[in-house]
Amino acid sequence: MLRFMKKRSLKIGLPPGEAVYVGEACPWAPQLRIIDFDADNLEECETIEASDIVPYKEKSTVTWIDISGIHRVEAIKKLSDIFKWHALVVEDVVNTDHHCKMEEYDDYIFLVLKMIRFDESAKQIGKEQISVIFGSNYVVTFREKKDEFWAPIMNRLRSSRGRIRRMGADYLAYAIFDLIVDYYFDVLEKVGFEIEDLEDELIREPQKITMNHIHSINKELLLFRKTVWPLREVAGRLAEGEHDLIQEMTLPFMRDLHDHVIQVIDTGEAFREVISNLLNLYISQISNRMNEVMKVLTIFAAIFIPLTFMAGIYGMNFDVMPELHAPYGYPILLGAMLTVACGMLYFFRRRNWF
Amino acid sequence: MLRFMKKRSLKIGLPPGEAVYVGEACPWAPQLRIIDFDADNLEECETIEASDIVPYKEKSTVTWIDISGIHRVEAIKKLSDIFKWHALVVEDVVNTDHHCKMEEYDDYIFLVLKMIRFDESAKQIGKEQISVIFGSNYVVTFREKKDEFWAPIMNRLRSSRGRIRRMGADYLAYAIFDLIVDYYFDVLEKVGFEIEDLEDELIREPQKITMNHIHSINKELLLFRKTVWPLREVAGRLAEGEHDLIQEMTLPFMRDLHDHVIQVIDTGEAFREVISNLLNLYISQISNRMNEVMKVLTIFAAIFIPLTFMAGIYGMNFDVMPELHAPYGYPILLGAMLTVACGMLYFFRRRNWF
Amino acid sequence: MLRFMKKRSLKIGLPPGEAVYVGEACPWAPQLRIIDFDADNLEECETIEASDIVPYKEKSTVTWIDISGIHRVEAIKKLSDIFKWHALVVEDVVNTDHHCKMEEYDDYIFLVLKMIRFDESAKQIGKEQISVIFGSNYVVTFREKKDEFWAPIMNRLRSSRGRIRRMGADYLAYAIFDLIVDYYFDVLEKVGFEIEDLEDELIREPQKITMNHIHSINKELLLFRKTVWPLREVAGRLAEGEHDLIQEMTLPFMRDLHDHVIQVIDTGEAFREVISNLLNLYISQISNRMNEVMKVLTIFAAIFIPLTFMAGIYGMNFDVMPELHAPYGYPILLGAMLTVACGMLYFFRRRNWF
Amino acid sequence: MLRFMKKRSLKIGLPPGEAVYVGEACPWAPQLRIIDFDADNLEECETIEASDIVPYKEKSTVTWIDISGIHRVEAIKKLSDIFKWHALVVEDVVNTDHHCKMEEYDDYIFLVLKMIRFDESAKQIGKEQISVIFGSNYVVTFREKKDEFWAPIMNRLRSSRGRIRRMGADYLAYAIFDLIVDYYFDVLEKVGFEIEDLEDELIREPQKITMNHIHSINKELLLFRKTVWPLREVAGRLAEGEHDLIQEMTLPFMRDLHDHVIQVIDTGEAFREVISNLLNLYISQISNRMNEVMKVLTIFAAIFIPLTFMAGIYGMNFDVMPELHAPYGYPILLGAMLTVACGMLYFFRRRNWF
Amino acid sequence: MLRFMKKRSLKIGLPPGEAVYVGEACPWAPQLRIIDFDADNLEECETIEASDIVPYKEKSTVTWIDISGIHRVEAIKKLSDIFKWHALVVEDVVNTDHHCKMEEYDDYIFLVLKMIRFDESAKQIGKEQISVIFGSNYVVTFREKKDEFWAPIMNRLRSSRGRIRRMGADYLAYAIFDLIVDYYFDVLEKVGFEIEDLEDELIREPQKITMNHIHSINKELLLFRKTVWPLREVAGRLAEGEHDLIQEMTLPFMRDLHDHVIQVIDTGEAFREVISNLLNLYISQISNRMNEVMKVLTIFAAIFIPLTFMAGIYGMNFDVMPELHAPYGYPILLGAMLTVACGMLYFFRRRNWF
């Protein structure tokens, strides 16, 4: 079942800035992967010690620190001390129930993003919070899980020819955001296929569809929308590029990103309207089927009830019923019954009932 | 039954600024709790005399005056005279039917907030108006009831290490607002569970759900929304921090609060959409069940009405009915009846009626 | 029947500024009540001559001229000449079909307000247009009817202690507006009770409710909304206080008024949503009741139609029907019938049909 | 049938500014009526030659040129050359499929307006495009048809006392716009009566109403709205009076006009909501009537089907049926049948079915 | 089946600015058509070599380069190098899944437009992306297909008298945009006819309509809206004319274009409302037909079930049934049956059931 909230009641009355991890407990230790690069060189290492990143702090090269696993709050706090982030930043990084947002500080920008992926095994949409903090020469990303999610960007970094090696930390942050938005398109595409299948079935074999199916897609879209909507503002503010950290050179890319986000949102809204149309289609089909059922009943009843009555008449035991003794009484009655039945059929036929 | 308004008709034509308490009558005397603190010292006392607070007025330490019970209007007026508040402030404090709002005066800010708590015993949402007035060195809070609602903040104040002791009155006001917003999350969480239970039932045992259940959650959400919506503007204006009373240092916290309020509102809206989807699900299930009922009826009628007619034919008393005297007339008729019945069943089967 | 428009077709092509009274014809002469006051003195008189107010025009005291009855257009024109109002002002005063609006001129402000009262005798909402024009030292109010509507304000004026005697014409205009808004709360309260009664009935005795009841409340709310909506802008512009006529001192009161108007509008909107929920509740109850009716029919039909068929079989007159001559044929058949009936009941029971 | 578009496909790829008349073909020649006036004199003539207006062009008096019939494009082009209008102006004048709009040029303002009239003979709403171009000393109006539509304004002009003779071209343009808006009120009034009739019938004789009636009013309102909506912006921009052509003196009239347009739009929207409520009322009445039909059926079936079964029992031909030979068997059975029937009636009565 | 998205999942993680063609594979080579013109001369040639356009780059005449076919990305890249466009421009040109947008660069403006045409053969709406890039002396257009789409503009260019020859590149871009908008009107016109046909049928022969028809028009309109909506902003920004490339002289045309786009959008929205009304009409007709069916059933059942019961009574075999032996028993019973039947008919007649 898709959830719209995580358990927060634990937090009532805690001082703000008190970082509390609200996700599932994880047994593994969070990992730091450090990639330090400029146009010419690239250095890459993995560690579990936050203090290992100190030497990179003052270098003019761009350093990408990717943290997988945010369930050890102390490690993140140590990092925060090194980079001198605001106390609320750490709180928001570990509180995975946050919506997307952007906080601008003097020398760094803090982004809370939501990654949405279609989990093939569970056949449902999976969410993950990805926090990005970038300053003039570093980008720090926080993920809940550890897998090869960043591979496309890492590969582009490792190749010495890519534009990504020549641009600054803001472009790397853009590339990270863009990768996440690409996944939105992927999810939309899959939901789009689901909707088309549903529509197909609804038109060809309406009786097989259950309302539950429509409802579940609707819920997915609602969750999708709730996640994506706040992105519009985040991307919009990045595209305006008022913060000094975003260079002139990166701006067209940020505007392109903004465009993509708007397209994602618009497509999601269009899907919601399609679903709403399908719901109308479904409901009208239920009514139509009811009409069909009623017609079958009415045709049967209207034909056989009068006939049964006629048979009932001549089943009576009155002493004086001259028809019973007429030699052709029986075939005449059968003929009359046939006439009535045909008359009924003609009546319903003319009313287009079948 | 949830109410959307309190009785106000008593107030027609009264001069504005005329404070009239519109809540329930309370037998107990309102209580004042005074907490005076700076980073080093904390002084705490309880009283029922408004004049006891005069000595704290000029001290540079932050003084928190918490009033439980607003049904004695004179005591509040006395307080108002001491702090020189506008006449309308007192009116708004005791008029518990107000929506959330923020009034900025030169040397103090007046907030009307609504606390929402899920009352476990009454199994429904309870509302309480909390008014907060803060100046440069004091915070005054007004509550309708008396209980340990403020305990989390009090405890943080009593501990000498907390950030709250080192920041000013504006931060205390923020902490108070934040506590109230935490309760919104708590209520949303509970409503969220209710909705999930409802959805579960609706999918597994649709016949047990009554529309009344959906309706009551819907009403709760409507009330919730009516309460929370005006908070968006209040929190937004605090986050802009244009008033001198809100220090630069407190601003990131106010912005965080604004974020939380928006998240509360968005989640509430998402819940409303889920409920609206569930309503569609419910209505389509009623129609589907009607379809089922009709199909059962039609199948029975369409099978047995023709058979009864056939039996009726041979119950007639015509003198000349040769079939009646045929030695195998009876078994042949029974066979014909079986054929008709099977034909009907096959017809309905092919139409996927059962 | 509530009306949304008054007859206007008479006015096609008339020159603008041509004052035409569009209300009902009234036999009585319009009355002027003049109240002239400052903090120390209060003078009060009644007249039917517009020219009587000339002496008050140049006095520094505040003069309130209340006109009851706007069906004698010439009297209003004479007044207009004395105060030098724009020709359109008179047109708008007598055209009672106008929506609420505010027109700012250099030395006076013109307000068109709508008073809404629950007419106890007619059991419906009654509307009346109240026009207010205020300058630096006068307030002129126009009403359609004559009754003691202004009594609360008059009484406050007559008492020498009230704030209203010490403030200027703008505060008096505020008090007038505030009284009208108080009546909105009153109407909302009554509509709120109606809605709660309806909800109660709908849950306890659904079959008694007619859709017409829901429809009539809905229409009341629609009319209420159409009337109140434009007030938001009027109150908002007063609260901004950009016109010189609104003194600094009066501003907090104007802001309070604006707050009240917003609360009125929000409550009205919430009521509309409640009604829309009740409509859903009602419609689902109709469907549920239909389901109940259908189930009763189906249970009866499904039980008795097969039994009747069985009885029909043994009512046939075939020569050779061995069962008829079996000594226990009759009780065995009765037993079989009972079995079928119980089987049916069990089937419907398991499907939770009763 | 009301149309939302006129045929435009002819225009694909034509150069912009290429004037193509898209209305119906007309056999009569367009007519020009010239009225030249100042406060003292008024001169009036009719012609079919565009060049006749040249002498009036440089006069300081206000000249109103009213063209009836826009199907001769060359005449309009000649006029355009005289007044030096932009090529697009002529295109928009003859393209009667345009929505309302306002184009400001340096020395003239171009308005496209839509006149709506309730055509009594055709019993439906008729539309006509009226284009108005006014400069400092002239107003040119274009109409599609020729009739006495302008009579009210002409009459006011002919009378030497009216305000219209003393004000400039902008005031004449205002008077023209105002006349058109007066017709909107007229149409709204008629639609309002139609809605009230519909509501009346729906409450008193629901079975007579057809959905088609609701649908046709709905469509009228939709057309009305589509026409009127763009007027809001046109009137708003005139009311702001930023163009030099609109004199200070005319501004209050323009603001009044803006108010009227907003009132027209609001009333139209209110009507749409009333219609939507009536639709709900209608749909719930259909459902209720269905319920009634089902109840009648169920009551009949539930009473007579068991009775028929009982009669069927004693119509069987078993050799051994002791009840048949009991002397009071028949009256006892009749009594039992009566009991069953009464029991059923009592059961349905208690359920409030009749 | 109409599609809302094209396959994009291939693109996850690709560097931005990486041009990937997402349309269908095409076997033919893209073609360049170059038209170079000023008021006096026009030169026209076709090529497949991008480098052929270099000589035109520095000429002061306006050069229109029309590329048919965007599936060869390298050719477009070569062009981009010649004109020094941003890397993202090429990406957007070949990504035909983009929505309409406008990107302003220093010395060129990039428009992504969507052409919509009613494909007569496939009986559905076909979409094509048309990208337009224009600088001070060139316009480059990219189309997916090759046909004579541009013919109307080409013909106007070839004629030496047209305005298009005397204006600059911005006017040519306007003419291109205008042609595309003309096609929107064409599609709307066709959809409008479809809707009118549907409405006609719905009113005259409701049983023939299937919900699928309504659904498919609805989907077309949704697609139309999704395509056209972003155009509003594009046209709006062109009409503001803030970019130096848009000359003063072209501005009235751009504003006219903006007007047309708004009219297209408004008409589309009006159509959506008409469809929504038709849906209500359709659903109420289903319910009405159900009512009819139920009435037929109920009338038959209510008339014949009591009669059959009466016949059943006298079919019983009780020894003592005096009525059976009465000489006029049979005709009296028949009379009673007739009375019951007529009573029933009268009852249903009075209830207006037939």
Domains of chain B by start residue, with CATH: 9-284 (3.30.460.20), 296-350 (1.20.58.340)
- Per-residue model confidence (pLDDT) at position B74: 83
Interface test with A, best of B317, B324, B349, B352 (most A CBs within 10 A): B317
Two structure tokens written together for C14: 């008339």
Comparing alpha-carbon positions, the chain B residue that sits nearest to A214 is: B281
Confidence label for A2 from pLDDT (cuts 50, 70 and 90) = very low
Predicted confidence band of residue C290 (pLDDT cuts 50, 70, 90): confident
Gap from C17 CA to chain B (nearest CA, Å): 34
Question: Side chain identity at C126, as an amino acid letter?
Answer: G
- pTM beyond cutoff 0.80: yes
Task: From C269, C267, C278, C265, select the one nearest C215 (Cα to Cα).
Answer: C278
Q: And the tokens for A116?
A: 């949405």
**E284 contacts D286? CB cut-off 8 A:** yes
pLDDT at C1: 41
Dihedrals phi, psi of D134, to nearest 5 degrees: -130, 140
Cross-chain Cβ contact A315/B319 below 8 Å: no
Q: How much is the pLDDT for A34? A: 92
Q: What is the pLDDT of residue A1?
A: 41
pLDDT tens for each residue of A294-337 = 999 999 999 999 999 999 999 999 988 888 998 888 999 999 99
Q: Do C281 and B330 touch (CB under 8 A)?
A: no
* Residue in A284, A269, A272, A261 with CA at minimum distance from that of residue A219: A272
**Which pLDDT belongs to residue B9?**
53
pLDDT confidence bin for C331, thresholds 50/70/90: very high
What pairing do the DSSP bridges indicate for beta strands B109-119 and B124-134?
antiparallel
State the average pLDDT for chain C: 86
User: Which residue of chain A comes nearest to B271, CA vs CA?
Assistant: A4
Mean pLDDT, all residues of chain A: 86
Element (H, E) at B128: strand B124-134
Tell me the shortest Cα–Cα distance from C58 to chain B, in angstroms.
28
Tell me the one-letter amino acid at A139. Answer: V
B212 contacts: CB under 8 Å, gap ≥ 6: C203, C281
Q: Which of C11, C48, C12 shows the shortest CA–CA distance to C33?
A: C48
Q: What pLDDT, on a 0 to 100 scale, did the predictor assign at position C28?
A: 73
A36/chain E closest Cα distance in angstroms: 19
Kindly list the distances between the CA atom of residue B62 and the CA atoms of B56, B93, B102, E133, in Å, as whole numbers in the listed order: 9, 22, 21, 64
Quote the CA–CA distance of B302 and B304 in Å, as a whole number: 6
Whether the predicted pLDDT of C2 surpasses 50: no
Nearest C-alpha neighbor of A162 from the set A32, A35, A37:
A37
A13 pLDDT higher than 70: no
Nearby residues of E341 by Cβ (< 8 Å), 6 or more positions away = E303, E307
> Looking at beta carbons, which residues of chain E come within 8 Å of A255?
103
Question: Residue B261 has what pLDDT?
Answer: 93
Least confident of A1-10, C239-248, D224-233, D293-302: A1-10
- CA dist B276 and B270 (Å) reads 10
Model confidence band, residue C327 (pLDDT cutoffs 50, 70, 90): confident
Could you say which of A211, A282, A311 has the minimum Cβ distance to residue B313? Answer: A311
Q: Which of D277, D296, D308 to mutate to test the interface with C (most CBs of C within 10 A)?
A: D277
CB contact under 8 A, C252 and B103: yes
Give CA–CA dist C70/C93, Å, rounded. 8
Q: How far is B18 from chain A (nearest CA, A)?
A: 35
Q: How many angstroms separate the CA atoms of E343 and B251, rounded?
A: 83
Are the Cβ atoms of B283 and C287 closer than 8 angstroms? yes
Based on its alpha-carbon atoms, the radius of gyration of chain A, rounded to whole angstroms, reads 34
Among A274-283, E39-48, E122-131, E148-157, which is the least confidently predicted range?
E122-131
The answer to whether residue E2 scores a pLDDT higher than 60 is: no
Per-residue pLDDT of chain D (354 residues; tens, 9 = 90+): 445 565 555 566 666 656 667 666 667 778 889 999 988 889 988 888 878 888 888 888 999 999 988 888 888 888 899 999 998 898 888 888 788 999 999 899 999 999 988 877 777 778 889 999 999 999 999 998 888 889 889 988 988 777 888 888 999 999 999 999 999 998 998 888 889 888 888 887 766 667 788 888 888 898 888 889 999 999 999 998 888 899 988 999 999 999 999 999 999 999 999 998 888 888 888 888 888 889 999 999 999 999 999 999 999 999 888 889 988 889 999 999 999 999 999 999 998 887
Give B-chain residues touching C344 at CB under 8 angstroms.
none
Whole-number pLDDT of residue E1: 41
Contact E285 D88 (CB under 8 A): no
pLDDT confidence of residue D292: 87
Q: Which token pair is B255?
A: 């912005």
* pLDDT of amino acid B124: 74
Nearest-CA distance D297 → chain E (Å)? 5
Which positions in chain D touch C278 (Cβ < 8 Å)? none
**pLDDT tens readout for residues A236-268:** 999 988 888 999 889 999 999 999 999 999 999
Q: What is the ipTM of this complex?
A: 0.79
Q: What is the pLDDT of residue E29?
A: 77
Residue A174 has pLDDT above 90, yes or no: yes
Which pLDDT score, from 0 to 100, does residue D180 have?
93
Let me know the angle formed at the C-alpha of B254 by B249 and B87, rounded to the nearest 5 degrees.
105
Buried/exposed code over B175-185 (b: 16+ C-beta within 10 A; e: otherwise): bbbbbbbbbbb
Return the structure tokens found at E197. 């046909």
Residue ranges in chain B whose pLDDT is less than 50: 1-2
In this structure, are residues A238 and A102 in contact, taking their beta carbons and an 8 Å threshold? yes
Could you tell me which residues come within 8 angstroms of residue D121 by beta carbon, excluding any fewer than 6 positions away? none
CA–CA distance, E305 with D302 (Å, rounded to integer): 10
What is the signed CA dihedral for E210, E211, E216, E222, rounded to 10 degrees?
160
What type of residue is B315? G
Query: In the numeric block, which tokens belong to residue D19?
Result: 């004037």
Per residue, the 3-state secondary structure of B66-126, as one string, reads EEECCCCHHHHHHHHHHHCCCHHHHHHHHCCCCCCEEEECCCCEEEEEEEEEEECCCCEEE
Residue C7 has pLDDT above 70, yes or no: no
